[in-house]
Structure 1
Amino acid sequence: MPKLQNIIVLRTFAIIAVVLYHCYCPWLEAWNWYKCEYRSLYSFIFETVLVGRMPLFVCVSGYLFSHLYLDRGKYHEFGNFLQNKIKRLLVPCMLFTGLMCLILQLNYVENIVGYGFHLWFLKMLFFCFMTTWLCAKYIHQIKLDIIAICISIIMMFISMPKFLGIGQYFKYYYRRDSRDNGDDAR
């Protein structure tokens, strides 16, 4: 099987950018539970040079799903697809959110149902994959493009709740806000 070299480079950059951002979050005033002296140089670097880290990460994930679905014929059975995404996205989210709740002595249910700390993106990706699978299976390409454009326009004017990661799902699936109250760091 041929490797997608360009995507591997983009994915590597996105992962490194996300990890670097989280390593320096205490100095960016992005985490309110750990205080460090604010560093304007770090803020400049991470808010300008690495500004597209999460949208790039989501775009690469979507591209790889599309490649596997269309080019390699994977994931055509919903049951297997759902099982794979639960195992790879929701189970790690639940386990590591539980670990964070244990360490910080916080309510597990509130964090799983709500934001979920640094693994909020796993719930968001889960909903993105489910939506994309349904659209790929049941909507023809031209109709899908028109629907995506219409939904994108509508979602620019609606603020969604953070319940089960739905807010982040709409933020990254349909639109990209400029800074959303430091959500990248929670």
Structure 2
Amino acid sequence: MENKQEKLINVVFLKVVAILLVVLGHAMYVYTGHKPFQMQVQSSALNVISLYIYSFHMPLFIFISGYLYFYVKIEKNKYRNFKKFICNKFLRLGVPYIIFGFLYLVPIRWLIGYYKLRPGTSHMSLAQIYFKHIVLAEMPGHLWFIYALFGIFILFYIIEKYLKYNVKVSFIILLALHIISYKLPAYFSINNIASYLFYFYLGYLFRDYIKQIIKFLNKNVLIYIFLVQIILFIVGIYFQNAKIYHLIDPGLGILGIILCFGISIKFNNPNNKLIKNRMFQLLDRDSYPLYLFHDPIIDIALSFLMLTKINPFLITAICFIVGMGISLLLTKLFRIIKLKFIWGEKDKKIQLIKNDLSK
């Protein structure tokens, strides 16, 4: 009889919230001035909202990975063979990085003139962009996440046994590494790996101490956590361009994660109407390919919308809907033509045969 893997309902909620925040954040990120598109109408409100989302949405994604790593390796007793672990993560993260980097992200941005609009890349040839942005992974767009996550998985697997000696010391060391990571080189995503390793460990610890954390979060502390987060965020905006912000940044990430995790506990029930919603389940299943597809689609939309004087909130809504809708359609199309391997998804029938043969 086939044993189905236990479904962590709160993680399903967190994954859906995280992907919605990522797409929404990218839809309005142009108003922070960090995309090369010059919009006709600016919005300080969207700038602030975008900065708030960015303060914790990617730490949340990495946190989820660390949380699941503990669950799969420690509780389910998997990931025991290092070579198999690396191969599995390369297929899941490395292959999509190569395919989407070389065949999707760079070609689209090149065709819409993205690199010509960006001061640092306007003089570069296509070959130089491929080498610097994808091979060296200095500026691989939204794909930085999967490149860095691959590095984090490997590094954490190696150092995991040492982190267990003293949790408090390990926490402080990785937090310190996170704070100083901006001084590290960007090539091969060294700075991102060093920075987000802390959030991976945080997720690992949350799963390890899950009973104590749930007990704490059930004490109606979320409103106070939210208030502290907002106050710290306001302080962070004031010191945004100062070195002290690197001390504020991890606080925002941690508080945002705790807030989202606390809310997810309220939905930790398989019979919850939201969890059973078909669209919610679709976003859970397709959150990864949605992440891979969405950002260049938003760039295409912005390359046209920047010529208009449409209200910034309407532009954000258009980019969000177009980014989500087309990404989900592309995901469905690639599933139909059986090309889901491009995001590292295995065919269930083949996987079942392999599992039977390995018994």
For the residues of structure 1 that align with 2:55 and 2:174, how far apart are their CA atoms? Answer: 24
Would you tell me which structure has more helix in proportion to its own residues?
A: 2
Superposed, which structure 2 residues align to 1:1-16 within 5 Å?
Answer: 1-16=5-20
**1:29·1:38 contact (CA, 8 Å) conserved in 2?**
no
For the residues of structure 1 that align with 2:16 and 2:90, how far apart are their CA atoms? Answer: 23
Alignment of 1:111 onto 2:133: yes
Shift of residue 151 of structure 1?
Answer: 4.1
Equivalent residue number for residue 182 of structure 1: none
Equivalent residue number for residue 165 of structure 1: 189
Equivalent residue number for residue 18 of structure 1: 22
Shift of residue 11 of structure 1?
Answer: 1.6
Shift of residue 145 of structure 1?
Answer: 4.8
Structure 1 residues 55-95: Cα deviation after superposition (integer angstroms, max 9, x where no partner) = 11110111011111101111110111101111111211122
Unaligned runs of 5+ in 2: 111-125, 200-244, 250-294, 296-359
Rg (Cα) greater in structure: 2
Unaligned runs of 5+ in 1: 180-184
TM, length-normalised to structure 2: 0.45
Alignment of 1:156 onto 2:179: yes
* Higher RCO (CA-CA < 8 Å; seq separation 6+): 2
For the residues of structure 2 that align with 1:109 and 1:144, how far apart are their CA atoms? Answer: 39
Secondary structure of the corresponding residue to residue 139 of structure 1: helix
Shift of residue 41 of structure 1?
Answer: 2.0
In structure 1, which of residues 81, 102, 123 is the aligned counterpart of residue 107 of structure 2? Answer: 102
Shift of residue 127 of structure 1?
Answer: 1.2
For the residues of structure 2 that align with 1:22 and 1:154, how far apart are their CA atoms? Answer: 27
For the residues of structure 2 that align with 1:73 and 1:126, how far apart are their CA atoms? Answer: 20
For the residues of structure 2 that align with 1:128 and 1:72, how far apart are their CA atoms? Answer: 20
Q: 1:164 to 1:49 in 2, by over 3 A?
A: closer
For the residues of structure 2 that align with 1:50 and 1:102, how far apart are their CA atoms? Answer: 26
RMSD across aligned positions (CA): 2.4
Which runs of at least 4 in structure 1 moved beyond 6 Å after TM superposition? none
Residue 124 of structure 1 aligns with an amino acid whose one-letter code is A
Structure 1 residues 115-150: Cα deviation after superposition (integer angstroms, max 9, x where no partner) = 2111111111111111221123x4362346523422
User: How many residues end up aligned between the 2 structures?
Assistant: 178
In structure 2, which of residues 47, 61, 65 is the aligned counterpart of residue 43 of structure 1? Answer: 47
Q: 1:154 to 1:12 in 2, by over 3 A?
A: closer
For the residues of structure 1 that align with 2:97 and 2:85, how far apart are their CA atoms? Answer: 18
